[in-house]
Structure 1
Amino acid sequence: MRLDLEIHSPLEEVNLPAFTKHGVRVFVKRDDLIHPLISGNKWRKLKYLLKKADAESKQHLVTFGGAYSNHLLATAAAAAKFGFKATGFVRGEEVQNDTLLLCRLHGMQLIFTSRESYRDKAALFNNHFAGDTNAFFIDEGGASPEAALGCSELVDELPFAFDHVFCACGTGTTAAGIINGLNKHQLKTQFHAIPALKNGNFLRNDIDKFLTHPHPFHLHNQYHFGGYAKTTPKLIGFIKTFTAATGILIEPVYTGKMLYALVDMVKQGEFASGSRILAVHTGGIMGLFGMANKF
């Protein structure tokens, strides 16, 4: 089975007054343009998991996510594109929304489960699919060494070295992968992870467990805006202004918080004049539909 998408996403320089004032150059890695639905870090994280499933002759992908999960939608779209069956465990009560509609349209079976039972994903998988030798477990968000390997390839695509790299952080897998890529190329780039959830310091351990070699990184916990999928008028205002000024659509769950952090740190003079900074757009634009009333 051929499991390929074009993943050399474009690099786009962004010019904002704060960047000019402080003498820094900021580029956005447009992973959101990889695929309409398997976008951002989603394809990078799924690529080697799907190759592993195919190598093991497993044709039924079983994964997990919330009602607005970009990972569920990406897995459903990838399963349809590459000939897999897909099942998604959805956290919480049964609901209808645009994300789940697209999951169903791509053939994914959805199983809604209580928040309590959702905590033990291995048990959920075993209770429903222990007898299905064709079923292949994919953790929430694709978290795995295979996903980290896929994300590490982002660094292979960079045309020059950066002084700093910024990335939103949910499970820590993408961050770990990019850090591994920096190590592979022996780059001294400083990596900045922006947790999308409150009290995100635990992500330090989650990132460390997927690192191929120890590597220092910065974890900025102060830009969560109240927690996962939480927002404030200040963040919404930033997203409106950034999108209108650049033409790059961002959302409040991940990339919006990451870019807010980057701009805020530039304004505080955190980076030397002449610094080149990379911001990784990890996609997830469907997250906007769950927060349309905020705009």
Structure 2
Amino acid sequence: MFTDIYSPLQQLKHQSRHQVQVKRDDLIDPYISGNKWRKLKYILQEVQEKSKSHIVTFGGAYSNHLVATAAACCRAGLKSTAFVRGEQVENEMLALCKLFGMNLIFTDRTSYKDKNSLFSIHYGDDQDAFFVDEGGACTEAVEGCAEIIGELPNNIDHIFCAAGTGTTAAGLLKGIHQQGLKTQLHVIPVLKGGDFIADEIVSYTGKSDQLTLHTDYHFGGYAKTQPELIHFMKSFIAEEGMLIDPVYTSKMFFAIDDLLKKDYFKANEKILAIHTGGLLGIMGMKDKF
């Protein structure tokens, strides 16, 4: 399941004056998409090595991570359970989770904050259960995301990625260090006050002068949008023929365009954006289009 992948590089048409490519991790799989595929690769390997048969994880009602985990567990013959943050709801994402066999436990927001306690109370005596944090954040996920760098040309000057927890970014920076590259990693936090993500990244990689955070492109916060972002997203998709989502990748591509307009980069520098997938999240904002 985690062997052959299809993730080509694609030049952006609307940035023909610049060398901007996209690593199409969104094409790896329709449900185990992008960075979720990368994160789950070694998580599932550890589950199998420890002879576990039940993954227990966490997420919001429109979590791409939950769908990806449900699909991956279904294909691997594993049981899956998710603690879903907030009141009980029904939507397209959760319907997919249930179709893939995932058990959903809706949890009030206060209890949800202590995920280890939830796991212990419900599954502490279950020897088959394996804890996976929200978004798949862990060292195994970082290891999986680090492999992206080995699939890229070694002459990229700048790599961009959107960030919610910083796990994918940590993997990218780790891969840059492992390959001995001079590439600069640019991280676009998608939530307000995203400076803390730098600490999350550094906790996995150590401090680095090859890391830059751009914290002014959150458009109001996590899963928040503004008309300017939605207009950009619709124009981008129509011109490129490439779907992007309003929560993560739209904010990243908007940031790249804005920095190019401001002459942030030197002439002829090569820029690459990581398309981390997560496109099913579009369904949670379909009323905005």
TM-score when normalising by structure 1: 0.96
Q: Distance in 2 between matches of 1:273 and 1:195?
A: 26
Q: Which residue of 2 aligns with 1:215?
A: 208
Deviations 1:90-148 (A, max 9, x none): 00000000000000000000000001111000001001001100000000000001000
Q: Which residue of 2 aligns with 1:115?
A: 109
CA contact (8 A) 1:144 1:210 kept: no
Correspondence for 2:134 among 140, 161, 167: 140
Amino acid paired to 1:75: T
TM-score when normalising by structure 2: 0.98
Q: Distance in 2 between matches of 1:204 and 1:156?
A: 23
The CA RMSD over aligned residues, in Å, is 1.0
CA contact (8 A) 2:6 2:27 kept: no
Q: CA deviation at 1:15?
A: 2.2
Q: Which residue of 2 aligns with 1:11?
A: 9
Amino acid paired to 2:86: G
Q: What pairs with 1:143-182 in structure 2 (closer than 5 Å)? A: 143-182=137-176
Amino acid paired to 1:99: M
Partner of 2:122: helix, strand, or coil?
A: helix
Q: CA deviation at 1:214?
A: 3.2
Q: CA deviation at 1:210?
A: 1.3
Does residue 196 of structure 2 align to residue 198 of structure 1?
A: no
Q: Distance in 1 between matches of 2:61 and 2:150?
A: 33
Amino acid paired to 2:33: S
CA contact (8 A) 2:219 2:226 kept: yes
Deviations 1:147-185 (A, max 9, x none): 000000001111342000000001110000000111111
Q: CA deviation at 1:8?
A: 4.8
Q: Distance in 1 between matches of 2:140 and 2:204?
A: 9
Deviations 1:4-31 (A, max 9, x none): 24235111111215x51xxx20000000
* Structure 1: gaps of 5 or more residues: none
Amino acid paired to 1:16: H
Does residue 181 of structure 2 align to residue 183 of structure 1?
A: no
Q: Distance in 2 between matches of 1:26 and 1:159?
A: 13
Q: What pairs with 1:1-295 in structure 2 (closer than 5 Å)? A: 3-17=1-15, 20=17, 24-211=18-205, 213-216=206-209, 217-295=211-289
Q: Distance in 2 between matches of 1:209 and 1:240?
A: 36
Q: Distance in 1 between matches of 2:97 and 2:249?
A: 22
Q: Distance in 2 between matches of 1:5 and 1:103?
A: 23
CA contact (8 A) 2:154 2:181 kept: no
